[in-house]
Chain A
Amino acid sequence: MKRRLLLIPAALAALFLDAFVLPALSSNGIRPLFTLSLAMAATAVTAVQDGMLIAIFGGLFTDLFCNPYLGLSAAAYLVAVVITYGFVRKNEQRRALLLLFALIGAVAAELIIFVFSLAIGARFDAHRLLSATLPSIILEAILTYPLAALYRSREKGNTLYK
Chain B
Amino acid sequence: MRKLWKNRPMWIALIAIVLLVVLAGFTANGSGAKDGLFRTALSPVAAFLHTAESEVADFFVRVFTPSEISEENARLRETVLLQEQKLALLDETEKENARLSELLNFTEANPNLRFVTASVIGRDSNPYIDTITLNAGSRSGVTEKMAVITPDGVVGRVSEVGPNWCRVKTMCDDKMRISVMVQRTRDEGMLGGRCESDGELVGTYLYYLPGKADVRTGDTIRTSGIGGFFPKGLYVGTVIEVNEEGKGTHDAIVSMDIDFLHLEEALIVVGVDEAIG
Answer whether residue A45 sits at the interface, using C-beta atoms and an 8 A cutoff: no
Answer whether residue B24 sits at the interface, using C-beta atoms and an 8 A cutoff: yes
- Cα distance A122–B85 in the bound complex, in angstroms: 51
User: For window 13-70 of chain B, which residues contact chain A by CB distance below 8 Å?
Assistant: 13-14, 16-17, 19-25, 27-28, 32, 35, 38-39, 42, 46, 49-50, 52-53, 56-57, 60-61, 64
- Cα distance A120–B28 in the bound complex, in angstroms: 7
Residues in B with CB closer than 8 Å to A79 are: 17
Residues in B with CB closer than 8 Å to A47 are: 9
- Cα distance A115–B56 in the bound complex, in angstroms: 33
Contact between B53 and A20, CB atoms less than 8 A apart: yes
Contact between A78 and B53, CB atoms less than 8 A apart: no
Contact with B along A43-81 (1 / 0, CB 8 A): 000011100100010010001110011111011001101
Contact between A82 and B57, CB atoms less than 8 A apart: no
Answer whether residue B1 sits at the interface, using C-beta atoms and an 8 A cutoff: no
Central interface residue in A25, A74, A78, by most chain B CB within 10 Å:
A78
Answer whether residue B263 sits at the interface, using C-beta atoms and an 8 A cutoff: no
Cβ-neighbour of B14 out of A20, A63, A82, A120 (below 8 A) = A82
Cβ-neighbour of A69 out of B14, B27, B64 (below 8 A) = B27
Given A69-B24, A71-B19, A74-B20, the answer on whether A48 and B13 have CB atoms closer than 8 Å is yes
Contact between B28 and A69, CB atoms less than 8 A apart: yes
Contact between A20 and B17, CB atoms less than 8 A apart: no
Size range of the chain A interface in the assembly:
20 to 34
**Closest beta carbon of chain A to B51's beta carbon, Å:** 10
Given A64-B38, A82-B10, A82-B14, the answer on whether A21 and B21 have CB atoms closer than 8 Å is no
Answer whether residue A24 sits at the interface, using C-beta atoms and an 8 A cutoff: yes
Answer whether residue B276 sits at the interface, using C-beta atoms and an 8 A cutoff: no
User: For window 156-187 of chain B, which residues contact chain A by CB distance below 8 Å?
Assistant: none
**Closest beta carbon of chain B to A126's beta carbon, Å:** 23
- Cα distance A62–B206 in the bound complex, in angstroms: 98
Residues in A with CB closer than 8 Å to B21 are: 71-72, 75, 112, 116
Cβ-neighbour of B27 out of A19, A71, A78, A85 (below 8 A) = A71
Answer whether residue B275 sits at the interface, using C-beta atoms and an 8 A cutoff: no
Given A48-B10, A75-B21, the answer on whether A68 and B42 have CB atoms closer than 8 Å is no
- Cα distance A120–B9 in the bound complex, in angstroms: 30
Contact between B42 and A65, CB atoms less than 8 A apart: yes
Contact between B49 and A65, CB atoms less than 8 A apart: yes
- Cα distance A82–B14 in the bound complex, in angstroms: 8
Contact between B17 and A70, CB atoms less than 8 A apart: no
User: For window 103-118 of chain A, which residues contact chain B by CB distance below 8 Å?
Assistant: 112, 116
Contact between B61 and A24, CB atoms less than 8 A apart: yes
Residues in B with CB closer than 8 Å to A16 are: 49, 52-53, 56
Residues in B with CB closer than 8 Å to A78 are: 13, 16-17, 20
- Cα distance A20–B57 in the bound complex, in angstroms: 8
Contact between A65 and B46, CB atoms less than 8 A apart: yes
**Closest beta carbon of chain A to B45's beta carbon, Å:** 8
Contact with B along A4-26 (1 / 0, CB 8 A): 00000000000010011100110
Contact between B52 and A20, CB atoms less than 8 A apart: yes
Answer whether residue B109 sits at the interface, using C-beta atoms and an 8 A cutoff: no
20 A–B pairs (Cβ distance < 8 Å), ordered by A: A16-B49, A19-B49, A19-B53, A21-B60, A24-B57, A24-B61, A47-B9, A48-B9, A48-B13, A64-B38, A65-B49, A69-B27, A70-B32, A71-B21, A71-B24, A75-B16, A75-B17, A78-B16, A112-B21, A116-B24
Chain A interface residues toward B at CB < 8 A: 16, 19-21, 24-25, 47-49, 52, 56, 59, 63-65, 68-72, 74-75, 78-79, 81-82, 85, 112, 116, 120
Given A75-B16, A75-B21, A85-B9, 9 other A-B contacts at CB below 8 A? A20-B56, A25-B57, A64-B39, A71-B21, A72-B21, A75-B24, A82-B13, A116-B21, A120-B28
